[in-house]
Amino acid sequence: MGCFIMKLSYEDKVQIYELRKQEGEQLKWDVNGRKLGKK
């Protein structure tokens, strides 16, 4: 895994980081939405 990451360019790393951040936000909202829905 480490070698694969080293081959990625800086731009690729930034893109992946942004995608993961967006996915994380999405998951947070989904969880919060379900909690509110249960109430």
CA distance 14 to 16: 5
Domain ranges of the chain: 2-38
Report the predicted TM-score, pTM, of the whole model to 2 decimal places: 0.48
Sign of CA dihedral 24, 30, 32, 34: negative
Per-residue pLDDT tens, the chain, 39 aa: give them. Answer: 556 656 778 888 899 899 999 998 888 888 887 777 765
List all residues 6 or more positions away from 16 whose beta carbon is below 8 Å from its beta carbon: 8
